[in-house]
Chains A and B, each alone.
Chain A
Amino acid sequence: MGWMRNHRKSGGESQSIHTNALGIGIATGAYALSFGAISVASGLSVLQTQSLSLFMFTGASQFAFVGVIGAGGGAVIAVVTALLLGARNSLYALSLGPVLTPKKKEVPFTALLTIDESTAMALRYNASRKASRRAFFATGLSVYVFWNIGTALGSLGASALSDPGVLGLDAAIPAGFLALLWPRLTSGSGSENRKMWTVAVASAVLAMMLIPFLRPGLPVLFSALVAVAASLLWSKASPPSEEN
């Protein structure tokens, strides 16, 4: 991995990149503890839980997958929900392509590490190709390692418990989704945040109203229609130059 070899050369910046990458890794690793625990409480084995962290490696999709399984929604709906949530990674990869310009043989590995955190860091340190590559791979690897360690500790810990409900793990699931949602509602401009809140509330209300009529998991999938409708509506209404 060439990006690691000469990371001392550019001093201050590379140090701040590595410190940030480590901090982000530890924070998401702590979060992975709860994923591991929730996954086992949802009925997956320790090995199945670990496979998700090793190969899917995109938190929101993993949480959604085990959430749907745990709620009795079944495998097909779990897969579709995970894929819909993962669609944003395609967009990340599209924006990262010209920044990281990975060689052909680097693409498979670069793709695996393409997640919220590594993308944010690569785009933040975009002064040079070298810096953004360093930020991307340092963050991606750091999160990958800590995410998998956290998953293992969480799933092993939870599998030692008899009834996860006693520990309030069923309440940890919506809290986890809310923690993933929160930055998307609060980090944009005022008008952008208002749009996000509108979509979030409309989707939540629609899903709740559908609970009695559809099998578990489907209300969440139907709520995606709110995002589709809003994006068609707002794309027409707003000028194409607007950032999002």
Chain B
Amino acid sequence: MWASILIASLGTYVEKLLGYLLPQRILKRESVRRMTGLLPVSLLAALVAVQTFASDQAFLIDARVLGLGVAVVALLLRAPFLVVILVAAASTALVRWLGWMP
């Protein structure tokens, strides 16, 4: 685990550093700008989906779905980050405690 933490930390730091060392003309390339802008959208959306519906390699619908739904409502109401996460966790914990959803 420590090795992967070290490699990932070093790697993300080098990514930051590279930007200050690379020539500016890279910025002029539309496809590069597009791709670095779209990558987080792709990965974060996929992470939302997988972390909500996957249990190992099985597709599973449980109380996490409700938590995510509540998070969407909170975001639509422009709630701050922490509130979004708190209400998602709390609503999930609540329906589990009530025994309504696993």
Contacts and interface: CB of A to CB of B under 8 A. Distances in A.
A171 B46 CA distance: 15
Interface string B74-102: 01000011101110111111101100000
Interface of B is mostly: helix
Contact of A211 (B18, B54, B81): B54
A181 B15 CA distance: 21
B48 A72 contact: no
A244 B34 contact: yes
B11 A79 contact: yes
Contact of B42 (A114, A199, A234, A242): A199
Most buried by A among B32, B33, B53, B86: B33
Given A83-B15, A89-B15, A216-B54, A168 B68 contact: no
B57 to A, nearest CB: 6
Interface residues of A, number: 104
A244 B37 contact: yes
A226 B3 CA distance: 30
A112 B27 CA distance: 20
Nearest to B17: A111
Interface string A179-197: 1111011000000000010
Interface of B: 1-5, 7-13, 15-22, 24, 26-27, 30-54, 56-59, 63-64, 66-68, 70-72, 75, 80-82, 84-86, 88-94, 96-97
B40 A168 contact: no
B50 A208 contact: yes
Given A61-B12, A211-B59, 15 more contacts: A27-B81, A30-B82, A31-B85, A64-B43, A65-B8, A79-B11, A107-B17, A167-B93, A171-B64, A172-B67, A174-B52, A185-B41, A203-B41, A208-B53, A232-B31
